[in-house]
Amino acid sequence: EIVLTQSPDTLSLSPGERAILSCRASQSVSSYYLTWYQQKPGQAPRLLIYSASNRATGVPDRFSGSGSGTDFTLTISRLEPEDFAVYYCQQCATSTYNFGQGTKLEIK
Amino acid sequence: QVQLVESGGGVVQPGRSLRLSCAASGFTFSTYGMHWVRQAPGKGLEWMAGISYDGTSKYYVDSVKGRFTISRDNSKNTLYLQMNSLRVEDTAVYYCAKDSVGSNFGFDYWGQGTLVTVSS
């Protein structure tokens, strides 16, 4: 089983700042199969990034993804108030599509 | 537009069974893999089970193998999750989710979730 570990657990930043969220896999994952989601309280998750670096439909270009092998990153270039949420990475390389534990992005 | 609507949640005693449904519309249901994902109160997302577009392949997280069964009826555009031998730790919001274009690229649409509470 591929285990995904996200860091940090909580990130406290101000609007306008840059956010860098990390997702580390216990073994190499093809970048084709690494996905990021955003979840706001009381809502279902929203697909943000697929194949490590491709923005899903309607996702603003301040969101970007990168990485390969075991290390992946979600970057939000300039935080907007609506970006404060929980972010999850997910691997879709194996038949069990597990998630990381999540990073909570909170307003400082 | 794509819609996924879960139903069937509720309060159930440990050891009992429950069947969740997910009614799909707005896309060709029979051509997409589907999944169940759960979220315990205040916790993260946990992928539970997935099923191929035609129902021939099914996958489960280890913690529910032998207790939960995913299935689909493409004639009714409906996904199911049969949950048996429920445990207190199965308490969660259960979401159904649709494969993005091609499997292995994440889930592009999610339902609003249905709450399952397992309690005596």
What digits encode the pLDDT tens for the residues A55-103?
Answer: 999 999 999 999 999 999 999 999 999 999 999 999 998 888 999 999 9
Per the CB < 8 Å rule, is B45 touching A99? Answer: yes
Confidence (pLDDT) at A23: 98
Confidence (pLDDT) at A51: 94
- The CA-atom distances, in angstroms, between A84 and each of A106, B30, B34 are 5, 36, 28
> Tell me: the pLDDT tens digits for B2-30?
999 999 999 999 999 999 999 999 999 99
Task: Find the radius of gyration of the CA atoms of chain A.
Answer: 13
Res. B91 pLDDT band, cuts 50 70 90: very high
Asked if B30 and B53 touch (Cβ cutoff 8 Å), the reply is: yes
Res. B84 pLDDT band, cuts 50 70 90: very high
Confidence (pLDDT) at A53: 96
Average pLDDT over all residues of chain B: 96
SS3 (DSSP) at A104 = strand
Tokens representing residue B57 in the block: 């392949």
> Tell me: the pLDDT tens digits for B102-119?
778 899 999 999 999 999
Question: What own/partner pairs with CB < 8 Å and gap ≥ 24 does A75-79 have?
Answer: A75/A18, A75/A19, A75/A20, A75/A21, A76/A18, A76/A19, A76/A21, A76/A105, A77/A18, A78/A16, A78/A17, A78/A18, A79/A13, A79/A14, A79/A15, A79/A16, A79/A17, A79/A18, A79/A19, A79/A105
SS3 (DSSP) at B88 = helix
Partner A contacted by B106 (CB < 8 A): yes
Per the CB < 8 Å rule, is B110 touching A44? Answer: yes
Confidence (pLDDT) at A94: 84
Confidence (pLDDT) at B103: 74
Q: Which residue of A has its CA nearest to B113?
A: A44
Tokens representing residue A81 in the block: 């108030």
Chain A residues close to B106, C-beta within 8 Å? 35, 37, 47, 50, 56, 90, 92
